[in-house]
Amino acid sequence: MNVAETDFRSAIRIALAEELERDDDVIVFGEDVAFAGGVFQATAGLAAKFGPDRVFDTPISELALAGAAFGAAVAGLRPVIEIMFGDFLTLAMDSVVNQATKYWYISNEQASVPMVIRSAIGAGGRFGAMHSQTPAPWFFSVPGLKIVCPAFPADAKGLLKSAIRDDNPVLFLEHKRLYGNTGADMDGTIPIGVASVVRPGTDLTIVSLMKGVHDSLAAADALGANGVDAEVIDLRTLRPWDVDTVLASVEKTNRLLVVEEGPRTGGWSAEILATVAERALGHLDDAWRLTTPDAPIPYSPVLEDAFLPGPDAIVASVCSRQS
């Protein structure tokens, strides 16, 4: 039986078209997304099909884009915006980090912000230092934000549909070097927060996302020729990431390599390694973390004091490990 295939770029475009068709509240806007069809042609033809009220170009202002998306989402629409290059997400930080991700919390859970920020990221295309970064770690520690990072066309399509239907702000990252990749097509959605074991193995667990998954698969084939049977996990979603799937694999292989395209210091790979060290590899009682919860900082003095890792919390944490 022949399986239908599509390329990554078309998967994005089809997902947007199907969601625009399904829900009149979905709108798409950004720099050159309408007339030009996007700098990477991921939105080509959408403006002609759905008209200027649903798909439209904007001025060159990432902050204005993000602010407009936040306002539209709060007003009941489901905006999908495109920040042309992920490096420019710094210009949209306030609307995303200080507004969209906290609005549900500060509204006492009365108002959601269903907005999606799409952005092309990653190196290898010879775009230089200011157009090739992978900004996921900049947002990884922000409570209230989901981060989706697909590696295959079917995942891109199914996860983008889920992101658009989600009531939370979602950062949807698309690696520039994957737009031309082909793979199986699919219908329906893929749940956010569920990893995929794309290659089973017994000797080593390799965890990655986006282009790193393809590099890891190629490396696993080479390692196999040398007698190392590597299991490759595609996280697909970075926030929330699928802890259980990674732990289950590491408990089987007892070895872990995390492949991240990005600086070593402060990267998301450190969180994966820290979690596994705390929860899987020997249950290390001699090293652990005490942090604030993954939530916005509360206003109430009593709640804020309880939120912080103060002296009492530190003592309690140490004593709990002594018993």
Q: Which of 131, 175, 214, 283 is catalytic?
A: 131
| Peptide bond before residue 240 is cis, with ω within 30 degrees of 0 | yes
Q: Is 283 a catalytic residue?
A: no
Residues 6+ apart with CB under 8 A from 169: 73, 96, 100, 101, 113, 114, 115, 116, 117, 144, 145, 146
Residues 6+ apart with CB under 8 A from 91: 61, 62, 63
Q: Pinpoint the alpha helices (H) of the chain.
A: 8-22, 46-50, 62-74, 93, 103-106, 136-140, 153-165, 211-224, 243-253, 268-279, 301-307, 311-322
pLDDT value for 284? 56
pLDDT value for 282? 56
pLDDT value for 265? 92
Domains and CATH numbers, the chain: 5-184 (3.40.50.970), 196-279 (3.40.50.920), 290-323 (no CATH)
Could you list the pLDDT tens digit for every one of the 323 residues in the chain?
Answer: 566 899 999 999 999 999 999 999 999 999 999 999 999 999 999 999 999 999 999 999 999 999 999 999 999 999 999 999 999 999 999 999 999 999 999 999 999 999 999 999 998 888 888 888 899 999 999 999 999 999 999 999 999 999 999 999 999 999 999 999 999 998 999 999 999 999 999 999 999 999 999 999 999 999 999 999 999 999 999 999 999 999 999 999 999 999 999 989 999 999 999 999 888 765 556 667 888 888 888 888 999 889 888 888 888 887 887 75
Identify how many contiguous H helices and E strands the chain contains and give both numbers.
12, 13
- Partners of 230 in the β-ladder: 204
- The CA distance from 27 to 53, in Å, is 8
pLDDT value for 113? 97
